[in-house]
Amino acid sequence: MKIMLPSQSPMMSKDFVFGVATASFQIEGGADQRLPCIWDTFCATPGKIRDGSDGKQACEHYNLWQQDVELIESLGVDAYRLSISWPRVINQDGSLNEQGVNFYIQLLDALNDKGIKPFVTLYHWDLPQHIEDKGGWLNRETAYLFQDYADKISQALGKRVHSYATFNEPFCSAYLGYEVGIHAPGLAKVQYGRQAAHHILLAHGLAMQVLQKNSPQSLNGIVLNFTPCYPATDSQADIDATKLADEYMNQWYIKPLFDGAYPDSFALLGEDAPRIETGDFDIIRQPLDYLGINFYTRAVYTATAQGSYQQIDMADKPKTDIGWEIYPQAFTDLLTSLHALYPLPPIYITENGAAMADKLDADIVNDQDRIDYYQAHLLAVNAAIEQGVTVAGYFAWSLMDNFEWAEGYLKRFGIVYVDYQTQQRTIKNSGLAYRDLINSRNG
Ligand code: GCO
């Protein structure tokens, strides 16, 4: 029933930041009050979303935000991680949309009034469709449009933001969106994926420059996701293949930030290599106030006859409702290995959580499986801290059930249950356990 950490753990000090996280497209709805984005278009394309749903209503947070702030407060968290919808705050001509900006100003003011620190992500995948129509992340110009958006919105929000993230998970936008096509905008070509990644990293560097100028008092950084890679056997072929996979899926997005270069396997890309201009890595490699890390699961690889890698299904292993293996040791391994590889700033775990097959029964969701997941993963973070990694905060994904991208509303990640018919929110037992953990911290 409970989530517990050793009482001497730094995570049990009040300085450690506990929060909950969401993203604009996944919860807001209010789609008629903003410009269309690539996820609106993707949802309208038959066969792309498993339940044929879209983000037009979602959790109706655009209208229900006041009660949602009260819900967040009732969980006792120190911080709330949200994202700003670019198509809500910037008009097609590049000017600020006052109505959209006011929505976020009211929300941020309400959070600050309650002492809840706002962690604001500028890009959680909802690219304005009119920008995609001009090539989206394949067009270098988009990086400069993003810088302009970051500049305008950070000036408009003033001192209301505790922390900015430029991007959430460049891997997902670039690889899932432009390389394999299972996310918006649904393009599928290796060169596209690598080019989109490069332009997103460039946009990150450009935006960091304006954030440090406009909002020097906030913690400014980026959020990356990692799926640590393990070899299926200890054969040299599997070990080599796994290293390639790790470079391609994980290191690709972090190495440029700290080392100003892509991994060595860049040389294997040939004609699929992205176009890079002189000076790009100097822009990308900006000092970071923090690094956000999202972790859910690991991946196990075997070598193929062609010298490449193939992920294998861990059929006999415990999994969440979305089919991801539950393997908390990978969380500790990830944090300690990144710490060994790069000169990391303080780390915030910006997402961690589990989709489970929840049942609402007499106003109770008894999600012991999710409680077990959080318990094991918080201990895994604590183990990394004990091994010398600086972790300053942890955010549960997610505050509430929401639109889970290509899975539509079929997968529930919330620590709060949402009835999409009535928009009734019910705190799950995991939410109560998370609240109790936070409240049990030392003075
Ligand atoms: C992510 C995503 C979330 C997903 C979650 C579960 O940043 O990966 O931000 O939007 O809902 O990861 O897949």
In sequence order, what DSSP letters do the residues of 144-202 get, joined into one string?
A: HHHHHHHHHHHHHHTT--SEEEEEE-HHIIIIIIIIS-SSTT----HHHHHHHHHHHHH
The whole-angstrom separation of Cα 12 and Cα 245 is 36
Whole-number pLDDT of residue 240:
98
Residue to mutate (ligand 1; options 84, 397, 402, 413; most atoms within 8 A of CB): 397
| Sign of the alpha-carbon dihedral angle for 358, 324, 83, 434 | positive
Would you name the residues annotated as active-site residues?
169, 351
Q: How far is the CA of 353 from the centre of ligand 1 (A)?
A: 9
The whole-angstrom separation of Cα 355 and Cα 412 is 5
- pLDDT tens-digit profile of 120-162? 999 999 999 999 999 999 999 999 999 999 999 999 999 999 9
Residue to mutate (ligand 1; options 294, 297, 321; most atoms within 8 A of CB): 294
Q: Which atom of ligand 1 lies closest to the CA of 407?
A: 13
Q: How far is the CA of 279 from the centre of ligand 1 (A)?
A: 32
Q: Which atom of ligand 1 lies closest to the CA of 223?
A: 7
Closest-CA residue to 164 (of 208, 128, 129, 202): 208
Continuous segment of H or E residues that includes residue 397:
strand 391-397
Residue identified by tokens 């109770």 is 364
DSSP 256-292: HHHHSS--GGGGGGGGGPPP--TTHHHHH----SEEE
Note whether 9 and 382 are within 8 A (CB).
Answer: yes
Q: Residues with Cβ < 8 Å from 47, sequence gap 6 or more?
A: none
Q: Which atom of ligand 1 lies closest to the CA of 355?
A: 6
Range 359-381 burial, b when 16+ CB lie within 10 A, else e:
eeeeeebebebbbbbbbebbbbb
Q: Which atom of ligand 1 lies closest to the CA of 413?
A: 6
Note whether 228 and 333 are within 8 A (CB).
Answer: yes
What is the percent of the chain where pLDDT is above 90?
Answer: 99
**Whole-number average pLDDT of the chain:** 98
Whole-number pLDDT of residue 1:
83
Q: Which atom of ligand 1 lies closest to the CA of 404?
A: 11
Q: How far is the CA of 401 from the centre of ligand 1 (A)?
A: 11
Q: How far is the CA of 57 from the centre of ligand 1 (A)?
A: 18
- pLDDT tens-digit profile of 421-432? 999 999 999 999
- Two structure tokens written together for 161: 């933001």
- pLDDT tens-digit profile of 411-420? 999 999 999 9
Q: How far is the CA of 351 from the centre of ligand 1 (A)?
A: 8
90 bridge partner residues: 96
* Phi, psi dihedrals of residue 361, rounded to the nearest 5°: -135, 110
Residue to mutate (ligand 1; options 50, 83, 123, 169; most atoms within 8 A of CB): 169
In the predicted structure, residue 24 carries a pLDDT above the cut 90: yes
Whole-number pLDDT of residue 443:
62
* Phi, psi dihedrals of residue 275, rounded to the nearest 5°: -80, 130
Note whether 20 and 80 are within 8 A (CB).
Answer: yes
Considering only CA atoms, which residue is closest to atom 13 of ligand 1? 404
Q: Which atom of ligand 1 lies closest to the CA of 23?
A: 10
Note whether 428 and 416 are within 8 A (CB).
Answer: yes
DSSP code of residue 326: -
* Angle at the Cα of 386 from the Cα atoms of 384 and 388, rounded to 5 degrees: 75
Residue to mutate (ligand 1; options 405, 411, 415; most atoms within 8 A of CB): 405
Q: Which residues line ligand 1 (CB under 6 A)?
A: 23, 26, 168-169, 172, 225, 294, 351, 397, 404, 413
Q: How far is the CA of 162 from the centre of ligand 1 (A)?
A: 21
Q: Measured in whole angstroms, how far is the alpha carbon of residue 392 from the centre of its chain?
A: 17
CATH fold of 10-439 reads: TIM Barrel (3.20.20)
Q: Looking at this protein, which amino acid is placed at residue 341? A: L
DSSP code of residue 247: I
- Two structure tokens written together for 24: 């604009």
Residue identified by tokens 């190495």 is 255
Note whether 201 and 256 are within 8 A (CB).
Answer: yes
Residue identified by tokens 């302009």 is 148
Q: How far apart are the first and last CA of the chain?
A: 24
Segments making up each domain of the chain, as ranges? 10-439
Q: At what angle do helices 368-386 and 429-439 cross, to 10 degrees?
A: 30
Note whether 398 and 20 are within 8 A (CB).
Answer: yes
Q: What is the mean pLDDT of residues 103-127?
A: 99
- Two structure tokens written together for 317: 């292993």
Query: Count of H helices and E strands in the chain?
Result: 15, 13
Q: Looking at this protein, which amino acid is placed at residue 117? A: K
Considering only CA atoms, which residue is closest to atom 4 of ligand 1? 404
Q: How far is the CA of 8 from the centre of ligand 1 (A)?
A: 31
- pLDDT tens-digit profile of 180-239? 999 999 999 999 999 999 999 999 999 999 999 999 999 999 999 999 999 999 999 999
